[in-house]
A and B are shown apart, each in its own frame.
Chain A
Amino acid sequence: MIRIVLPTHLRTLARVDGEVQLDVEGPATQRSILDALETRYPMLRGTIRDHVTQQRRAFVRFFACEQDLSHASPDAPLPDAVVVGAEPFLIVGAMAGG
């Protein structure tokens, strides 16, 4: 079971409170958990990664286990602590402003 924390605006858009919990078949990677997330919440398509290229949107970051995974391969295995649900996968809106 994968735990995903969405930023406030995407929680509102998906109409969820708190964490999202997903079961992912096969290896847990950024791609597989985002595929599962978008299947359950279709309104999130295009908000985290581009519809066509599947590239992460520029001002969205991925954190887990106190690491910035934003630039990791979307097919790289996620940390074991995320895979077993001990730690959440954080989808974060990049800090901006003054």
Chain B
Amino acid sequence: MACVQRLRAKTGAHYKKEEGMSTVRVLVGTRKGAFVLTADAKRARWEVSGPYFGGWEIYHLKGSSANPNRLYASQSSGWFGQQIQRSNDGGQTWEAVGNQFVYDGVPGTHQWYDGTPHPWEFKRVWHLEPSLTDPDTVYAGVEDAALFHSTDGGQTWQELPELRGAQGHLWQPGAGGMCLHTIVLDSSNPERIFIAISAAGTFRTDDAGMTWRPMNRGLRSEGIPNPHAEVGHCVHRIAMHPLRPNVLFMQKHWDVMRSDNAGASWHEVSGNLPTDFGFPIEVHAHEPDTIYVVPITSDSEHYPPEGKLRVYRSRTGGNEWEALTRGLPQRDCYVNVLRDAMAVDALDPCGLYFGTTGGQVYGSADAGDSWAPIVRDLPPVLSVEVQTLP
């Protein structure tokens, strides 16, 4: 029987498919190139292609849900700067498109590490988020933190400058740089976008970027002078289920948080996690209250507690967590999983994937109950995305 579509969100990305003719395509960005991993719906045998853009850092690549063969990739180098690559055939061939990211007007200053004003300077694109409906529209989150978008398939880029008006002069870089790393589009409301910045916090627009508000009430960060400040929080990642867009989950520098009112306020759901420090957070494709994190020892020890690589799953939207260990190394493991390096597919059962700084990409075809490495020896993994294809 061909794949059966039971439930479809407007995104086209989180509909539920039974195993059948579907395939999954995992897009992996690494420190030294991009890789594409493909498998049928059983997700047992994988084909690995790449490296694409060998030797370049690929911070992120992602496909359009409106046209899955349209992919965008952020390619960068300390020597030669930023490139944006675009594919129209699912990653088999690529073309360089526009790479000019110029801040709107006089960019002004943000806070530097020592508290002095520092001019905004473009460094790289951390995250590319294609529109849910138009393959030629894509958003780019950049360092120094700003949001750009393109409506011509990446040929030209324009800043949405009002974001930096949301107290941008007070934003300060985290240890990894002042990056806009998360962009969440709301399939039920095309005017609403959530973004997250390290170390400024979460922001939301309800008018397609014309105005922005900090959405950080309820966050508490000991590392800043006012732990409850309106901006200045080191948010690592936020996630949403498209069918329940008012519920957001956040992995903060410390603390796993939840909002039930589209970010207006947050409450902690770290519960029984062994540590609430970490980077990625993901939501099950079909169960909006099932979420996943990868606890990391601390902000000064970026590896799993006790050398055991464990994904933690909550089926209750937080607070009650279970360790998922089957197939993952449970001794002598000291890798990290970065914020953009975890993804879920749309099959039933839901598949999960994550990549490590040790170059492994692990996959689970049973919602996290068991895991197996897809590849073991890639360069350090920066990002993992997955496409579920008919």
Contact = CB atoms under 8 A, between A and B. Distances in A.
Interface of A: 7-10, 12-13, 43, 45-48, 51-52, 57, 59-60, 93-94, 96
Interface of B: 54-56, 77-83, 96, 99-100, 102
29 contacts: A7-B79, A8-B55, A9-B79, A9-B80, A12-B54, A13-B80, A43-B96, A45-B100, A46-B81, A46-B82, A46-B99, A46-B100, A47-B80, A47-B81, A47-B83, A48-B80, A51-B99, A51-B100, A51-B102, A52-B102, A57-B80, A57-B81, A59-B78, A59-B79, A60-B79, A60-B80, A93-B80, A94-B79, A96-B79
B55 A9 contact: yes
Contacts of A46: 81-82, 99-100
Main secondary structure of the interface of B (DSSP, over half): loop
Contacts of A94: 79
A36 B83 CA distance: 20
A45 B82 CA distance: 10
Contacts of B96: 13, 43
Return the 8 tightest CB-CB contacts between A and B, nearest first. Answer: A43-B96, A47-B80, A59-B79, A93-B79, A51-B100, A46-B99, A46-B81, A47-B81
Contact of A10 (B80, B99, B100): B80
A93 B79 CA distance: 6
Contacts of B99: 43, 45-47, 51
B77 A9 contact: yes
Nearest to A52: B102
Nearest to A10: B80
A34 to B, nearest CB: 14
A9 B82 contact: no
Contacts of A51: 99-100, 102
Contacts of B102: 51-52
B81 A9 contact: no
Contacts of B80: 7, 9-10, 13, 47-48, 57, 60, 93
B83 A13 contact: yes
A51 B83 CA distance: 12
Given A9-B55, A43-B96, A51-B100, A57 B82 contact: no
A85 B367 CA distance: 63
A48 B99 CA distance: 13
Residue picked from A7, A9, A10, most chain B C-beta under 10 Å: A9
A10 B96 CA distance: 12
Which of A43, A48, A93 is packed against the most chain B CB atoms within 10 Å? A43
B281 to A, nearest CB: 34
A51 B96 CA distance: 16
Contacts of B78: 59, 96
Nearest to B55: A9
Given A9-B77, A47-B81, A47-B99, 17 more contacts: A7-B79, A8-B55, A9-B55, A9-B56, A9-B80, A10-B80, A12-B54, A43-B83, A46-B81, A46-B100, A51-B102, A52-B102, A59-B78, A59-B79, A60-B79, A93-B80, A94-B79
